[in-house]
Amino acid sequence: MRLKLTVAYDGTAFRGWARQPAARTVEGELRRALEELYGSVEGLAVAGRTDTGVHALANVVSVEVEGGPPPERAAEALNGSLPEDVAVAAVEQAPDDFHARFHARSRSYRYRIWRRRERSALEARRALWWPRPFDVAMADANAQALLGEHDFRAFTPTDTRHGVLVRVVKQVRWVEVDEDVAAFEITADSFLRHMVRTLVGTVLEGRDLAPLLEGRPRSEAGATAPPHGLYLTHVSY
């Protein structure tokens, strides 16, 4: 039986999604819990391979299992075995050919910024502390250049493993969540490594995004923002 899992996690204590020897990862914890419940676990795939420190509200996993609890009881059973910083929000039976990564039509991310002059103990691993002035309306106007199809090589490491650097951005905006928090929200068909974080870093440095969307080198964009402000919020199929 093939399952579709919706998974949320706090990325603070993980070395990213992908399983690694001698490192605590989200995939490692999820696979351990699945193997405790099911007689066979094969073909585990994920929609978003998040980096160290990045969070997820609704990442999607596909996996083939045998035995174990039925789908309607699987989330509760898995959560009983998972650590407190990972939770399965939903489980459903999927078509036999469903693949969480290859069948995804778009992914959405949010990057949160704490804008007060005083740092926040509660937001220390949830948002980037930015005590300097930041014009959300100006940042939003700048970000509209991202809509459509562009070459994003300026926003990913030079030694990237991606062969194609063109991505299609479907929705983008900067918003004031409240008087203390601003957020960058973006939806695209897929993302390059560090793409969202480098877009944020470039905007925070006051740089214009439009000229960088024509295949400019990485050196012309801004710094990569730290991972703890980034969340994978939704995957569409």
Question: Choosing from 51, 140, 151, 180, which is the catalytic residue?
Answer: 51
Give the H or E element holding residue 74: helix 71-81
pTM for the model stands at 0.95
* Mean pLDDT, residues 151-177: 93
Angle between helices 71-81 and 26-37 (to 10 degrees): 120
* Mean pLDDT, residues 70-81: 97
| pLDDT for residue 229 | 98
Name the residue among 59, 149, 74 with its Cα closest to residue 107. Answer: 59
- The token pair at 178 is 């409240």
Residue given tokens 């959300």 in the structure block: 136
Give the Cα separation of 61 and 90 in Å (integer): 11
| pLDDT for residue 136 | 97
Q: In the 8-state DSSP scheme, what is residue 225?
A: P
**pLDDT tier, 64 (very low <50, low <70, confident <90, very high otherwise):** very high
- The token pair at 224 is 């990569």
**pLDDT tier, 159 (very low <50, low <70, confident <90, very high otherwise):** confident
The β-bridge partners of 201 are: none
pLDDT for residue 161 is more than 80? no
Give the Cα separation of 208 and 138 in Å (integer): 10
Whether 51 is catalytic: yes
